[in-house]
Every structure is written in C-alpha cells, then in structure tokens.
C-alpha cells in the first residue's frame, strides 16, 4: 500500500484541533468552577434537568459510539486515516463547548459548608486533576489530542484506507502498561473525573446535575469500552485485567 507525505493543511488541521481540545477543557473548567457554581434561587428544575440530559446525551453518543470499531471502519472511508483521530477530537471538543455554553442552571444547593471546610474538597479536586494529567501523559497526551507522530500514515484514497482498515481492526496482541495509576485501576482518567466533578463546594444543583449525568455515562461506557478493547487486543487485555482487577476504585469497583 503506498503511503504519501502528509500535506501542510493536514498538519494545520491536526494542530488547530489540539488547540481546540485544550481550549474546550479550559472552557469546561471555567464553566464548572465559576458559572455552574453560582447558586440559583428561582426557576423550575425539571425542564432544565431534561434539557441538560438531552444535551449531554448528544456529546456522550459521539464520544462513545464514534470510538467503536464498526463506526471507525465506516468513518475511515470518508476521512484520511491520518486525520481520523483529529477529526474525532474536533467534533468532541466543539460538542463539549456547546454542552457547557447551553447548560441550563438548576435551582438550589445540594450541600455546602463553612469556607474552612472547602479546602479538603479543593485538595481532592487537585488530586483528581493530577490523576487525570498523570494518566494522560502515560497514554501520550499528543495521541489523545490527535497530533502524535505515531498517527496513521497519510492514506488519501478510499482504496488505500479500506485496505489499511481491514488489517488494523483485526485483533492483535499488544501489552497494556501498568505504569503509575494504571497499576492501581484500569480507568484512572475516569476516576480523576469523578474526583473533579464531585469534590466541590458549594455543590449547586447545576453542578450536581452535571456531575451525576456525566459520571452515570462513564459507568455505562466503561463496560462497553472494555468489551471493544478486548475484541481488538487479543488476549493482552485479559492479562491486564488479571493484573489490575479494579476499574475505578480499588477494593470496590
């Protein structure tokens, strides 16, 4: 199969996507820590919660379904394989920005405490951020952002792409790292997310709605994600699960 040099515009597309990825994460943090943290005393909760559930479902649908191999096979026929990850990042980042921008406030405060008790929660949040960043660095944050040098070679034609996809999607034996947090739990990035969204004060109902919806999605997505990994990694993931028993919380789940 011939491999062609990646054109300049494709490099630009990937790097702009990476910047958008970082920008969307920054916008989420700003929204969650400031906008969502403003207590609301008026309004009706039910319509806002239903809207927020629908909004996040759109994001979750893309985040989960579009990462599955059957969809990736089809998508690879439309987009050069070297831009597959970057295109996914573009869409996911834009959707996260839309979710944060259109998230409707929910009236009420679930719990709060004196200012001095806010500090333990902030430390837990910092721990969640560290866990997420540390885990992402182990996986290669450049790969997550779609700009890794190990990205697929430039395959501009459907025939070349189809040939490559037909071989890549077959189960192949690889080894999974047990470095750092990946030696404690199998999904440390998701665990960091739980800490980040729940360890806040005050826990406004706007924040609680986001935390519950997003974490419920992760609990649903984890078994599906593991099944997909198992199908495409041969016996390697089974060996990894034998070494690292727990998914999110050692001794519990």
Q: What are the tens digits of pLDDT across the range 56-86?
A: 999 998 877 766 666 666 666 777 777 778 8
Is the pLDDT at 170 greater than 50? The verdict is: no
pLDDT in tens, 171-224: 455 678 888 999 999 999 999 999 999 999 999 999 999 999 999 999 999 998
Lowest mean pLDDT among 82-96, 163-177, 226-240: 163-177
Would you call the peptide bond into 53 cis, given omega within 30 degrees of 0 as the criterion?
no
- Tell me the mean pLDDT in the region 219-237: 85
Domains in the chain: boundaries:
8-243
Confidence of residue 23 (pLDDT cuts 50, 70, 90): very high
Q: What percent of the chain has pLDDT over 90?
A: 49
Confidence of residue 158 (pLDDT cuts 50, 70, 90): very low
Mean pLDDT of the chain: 83
CA gyration radius, the chain: 20
* Banded pLDDT at 161 (limits 50, 70, 90): very low
CA-closest candidate to residue 169, choices 77, 101, 242: 77
Helix, strand and coil content of the chain, in percent to the nearest 5, comes to 65, 5, 30
- Of all residues in the chain, what percent carry a pLDDT higher than 70? 81
Q: Using the predicted structure, report yes or no on whether residue 150 has a pLDDT greater than 60.
A: no
153 and 82 in contact (C-beta within 8 Å)? yes
Burial of 218 (0-12, 13-18, 19+ CB in 10 A): buried
Residue 43 has pLDDT above 90, yes or no: no
Are the C-beta atoms of 76 and 163 separated by less than 8 Å? no
List the one residue out of 83, 94, 82, 79 whose CA is nearest residue 20.
94
């Amino acid at each position: 199969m011939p491999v062609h040099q990646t054109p300049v515009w494709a490099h630009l597309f990937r790097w702009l996507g990476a910047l958008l990825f970082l920008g969307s994460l920054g916008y989420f943090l700003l929204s969650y820590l400031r906008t969502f943290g403003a207590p609301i005393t008026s309004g009706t909760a039910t319509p806002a919660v239903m809207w927020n559930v629908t909004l996040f479902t759109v994001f979750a649908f893309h985040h989960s379904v579009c990462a599955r191999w059957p969809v990736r096979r089809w998508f690879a026929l439309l987009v050069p394989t070297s831009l597959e990850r970057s295109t996914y990042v573009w869409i996911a980042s834009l959707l996260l920005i839309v979710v944060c921008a259109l998230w409707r406030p929910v009236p009420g405060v679930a719990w709060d405490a004196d200012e001095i008790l806010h500090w333990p929660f902030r430390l837990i949040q910092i721990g969640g951020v560290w866990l997420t960043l540390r885990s992402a660095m182990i996986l290669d944050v450049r790969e997550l952002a779609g700009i890794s040098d190990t990205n697929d070679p430039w395959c501009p034609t459907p025939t070349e792409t189809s040939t490559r996809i037909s071989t890549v999607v077959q189960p192949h034996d690889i080894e999974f790292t047990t470095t750092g947090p990946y030696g404690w739990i199998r999904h440390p990035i998701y665990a960091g997310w739980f800490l980040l969204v729940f360890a806040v004060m005050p826990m406004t109902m706007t924040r609680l709605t986001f935390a519950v919806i997003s974490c419920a999605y992760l609990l649903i997505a984890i078994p599906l994600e593991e099944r997909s990994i198992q199908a495409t990694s041969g016996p390697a993931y089974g060996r990894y699960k034998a070494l690292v028993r727990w998914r999110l919380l050692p001794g519990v789940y």
